[in-house]
């Protein structure tokens, strides 16, 4: 006589990313932050929930290091929330493999970028056009292989910071011959995307014809992190690394739009 023995496996919790992203409010927050950095009041309006509930779910996402927060440079009482797309990708890949090895996603080799199949015009804005927007312009031009027309300007232009030149030189990109430009230079021109990198310039961003997608990446001024060029250089390196990661993801947004994708980067009309 035989007995059927059933082995009961240990209880396995769902992967972290699935548990977090599976909640409707958190999924909405992740989706909105994937389009650009946002303040709590903006997220509250976008998801249609009370601020206390939105803050609670943002706390859950911050605990998992999917989302980070920094105080606004325009008004220290406000804060901007940023989504870590790289970490989201890593956790999503691990989640598939947790269910079955055949479902593990394979990330592309480090440093690789899909060829850009479309031509788009992108304008980066910050206050001085001396570091953040200049670095972003140079990175997008290099990573897109010349298929994207990138420009940059500032609301109060000042000389190009030497650390911006140095940190880009390490990446094989020469900024030494560039000069700062006022954002008025581009008023009346058409762009597909206008990306503000400074909380202050976001407040004074002019309207551009053609209703471009307005995107905000809240990034601190690296020149304020020390008294000497040597002291601020690590902040410039962190800025360049952050911008490079964001721009690599942004190139996929441009291609998705060209392919008729339905998820825009997020027009900020009414924000």
Residue (of 142, 136, 117, 147) closest to 256 by Cα position? 117
Measured from the Cβ of residue 23, the count of other Cβ atoms closer than 10 Å reads 14
* Residues tagged active-site: 126, 198, 205
Buried b (16+ CB within 10 A) or exposed e, 58-97: bebbeebebbeeeebbbeeeebbbbbbbeebeebebebbe
Buried b (16+ CB within 10 A) or exposed e, 133-143: bbbbbbbbbbb
Measured from the Cβ of residue 215, the count of other Cβ atoms closer than 10 Å reads 23
C-beta separation of 30 from 64 below 8 A: no
Place of tokens 């609301």: 155
C-beta separation of 161 from 130 below 8 A: yes
- At a CB cut-off of 8 Å and minimum separation 6, what does 261 contact? none
Place of tokens 């762009």: 191
Residue (of 114, 77, 90) closest to 199 by Cα position? 77
Q: State in Å, rounded, how far the first CA of the chain is from the last one.
A: 73
């Amino acid at each position: 006589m035989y007995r059927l023995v059933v082995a009961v496996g240990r209880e396995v919790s769902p992967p972290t990313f699935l548990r977090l992203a599976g909640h409707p409010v958190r999924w909405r927050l992740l989706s909105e932050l994937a389009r650009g950095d946002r303040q709590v009041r903006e997220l509250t309006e976008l998801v249609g929930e009370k601020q206390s509930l939105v803050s609670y779910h943002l706390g859950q996402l911050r605990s998992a290091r999917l989302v980070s927060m920094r105080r606004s440079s325009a008004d220290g009482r406000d804060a901007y929330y940023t989504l870590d797309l790289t970490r989201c990708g890593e956790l999503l890949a691990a989640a598939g493999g947790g269910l079955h090895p055949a479902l593990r996603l394979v990330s592309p080799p480090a440093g690789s970028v899909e060829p850009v199949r479309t031509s788009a015009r992108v304008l980066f804005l910050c206050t001085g056009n001396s570091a953040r927007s200049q670095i972003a312009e140079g990175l997008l031009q290099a990573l897109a292989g010349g298929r994207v027309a990138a420009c940059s300007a500032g609301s109060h232009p000042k000389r190009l910071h030497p650390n911006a030149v140095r940190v880009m030189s390490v990446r094989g990109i020469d900024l030494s011959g560039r000069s700062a430009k006022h954002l008025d230079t581009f008023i009346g021109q058409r762009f597909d995307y206008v990306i503000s990198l400074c909380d202050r310039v976001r407040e004074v961003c002019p309207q551009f014809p053609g209703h471009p997608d307005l995107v905000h990446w809240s990034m601190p001024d690296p020149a304020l992190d020390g008294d000497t060029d040597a002291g601020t250089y690590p902040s410039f390196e962190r800025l360049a690394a952050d911008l490079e990661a964001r721009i690599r993801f942004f190139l996929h947004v441009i291609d998705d739009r060209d392919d008729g994708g339905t998820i825009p980067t997020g027009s900020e009309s009414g924000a």
